Amino acid sequence: MTPGHDAAALLEPALAEWPLPLNSPLDPARIDTAQHNSLIWAEHFHLATGTTAQQRLRDLRAAQLAGYGYPRADDHILLLGIQWVTWFFLLDDLFEDGPTGATTDQSTQVTEPLHHILDAANTAAPQPAQSAGGLQAAFADLLDRTRVVMAPLQFRELSTHLHDYFHALVDETTWRERNTPPDLHTFLRLRRDTAPALPLLDLVEQAQNIRLPTSFYDSPEYDTMLGTAADIASWINDVFSAPKELAEDGLFNLVLIMHRSDGLTLPQAGRAAVARIKQQLQAFNDAQQRVQGDHRAGLYSDEGHAAIRSWASGLLAFQQHATWYFHHPRYGHLTPAATKIPQPQ
């Protein structure tokens, strides 16, 4: 069977129960312009040297992913989101396709300088010495430009999530080095951080052009809504990447772990992953209801509550990036026709 047919066989039962919108519209001219500008940035930092590397970045279609994920972003924030998406994918490829992800020591050699760059961005200390190009220099550039558009509290949140992400990449490498998948409970605990969902969701406030009430950051509802949104985004990746991961004997995938540990067929495991997505959506909605009650009780002003509602809308809109998987060659050339995309529910 072709990869596309394999993907369709696994995804069709899962998508029949898909609880999120798909096939969101994009402005092709706007996306093309943003993609072009992002490629110029990548070339400046030597992230795409040579025809093959440049074509690989074009095939990534980071602009489409960010366009789906940040539908209300202005051109400046959209471009910043595209560049973050590009950077995360290039870092992920080091761990997935190269020797970096083979051993804990090798992965730590890559992540430790990134921790230092991030620490320097949060203080008055000068940035550690970097080469003129590459992932480190591009990371420092992204941090400098992101700090300008974020409030200090927001940037601290982003920094925490980035540190957690880098630590999780090393943790995942440790499991890969053992050649043993984690149990489901351990996987669910780690998965929230092993994908860059939280750092990308930190841009939602900018994409929605709002500022959350400062007190909201300390609330359990903030943690629940952000955490469940990150889980949903990570598990979306696991559903759509399961055929690719299966072909490559991947270990760190929700669908494959439930398939192997719970004795489910792959279609059953796909449906089980969607059921977990639905559970997190319910937890998200329940937290949003509690925020409404806090607003009625006077904990948040009308303006603050409106900002929280807009943020919540942006977190859910981010999940529309699932449509991107249908147009990316690394996922088996999925097509809407092959998988019978359902209408939004």
Place of tokens 């440049």: 54
In this predicted model, which residue has the larger pLDDT, 18 or 127? 18
Reply yes or no on whether the pLDDT at 7 is more than 50. yes
Q: Which of 43-47, 298-302, 341-345 is the least confident region?
A: 341-345
What is the phi/psi pair of residue 219, to 5°? -90, 150
What pLDDT does 129 receive? 61
The structural domains of the chain, ordered by start, are 3-21+28-100+191-335 (1.10.600.10)
Q: Give me the amino acid identity at 103.
A: T
Q: Are 244 and 331 in contact (CB under 8 A)?
A: yes
What mean pLDDT comes out for the span 19-33? Answer: 90
The 3-state secondary structure of 200-222 reads HHCCHHHHHCCCCCHHHHHCHHH
Q: Are 132 and 46 in contact (CB under 8 A)?
A: yes
Kindly report, residue by residue over 192-203, the tens digit of the pLDDT. Answer: 999 999 999 999
Of the ranges 38-42, 88-92, 280-284, 332-336, the best mean pLDDT one: 280-284
> What sign does the dihedral 82-204-197-276 (CA atoms) show?
negative
The pTM for the full model equals 0.92
Place of tokens 């998965």: 191
Q: Are 3 and 322 in contact (CB under 8 A)?
A: no
Distance CA 326, CA 22 (A): 10
Report which secondary-structure segment, H or E, holds 273. helix 266-296
Q: What is the total residue count of the chain?
A: 345
Mean pLDDT of the chain: 89
What pLDDT does 18 receive? 93
In this predicted model, which residue has the larger pLDDT, 10 or 226? 226
Q: How far is CA 16 from CA 13, 21, 34, 126, 320, in A?
A: 5, 12, 33, 52, 16
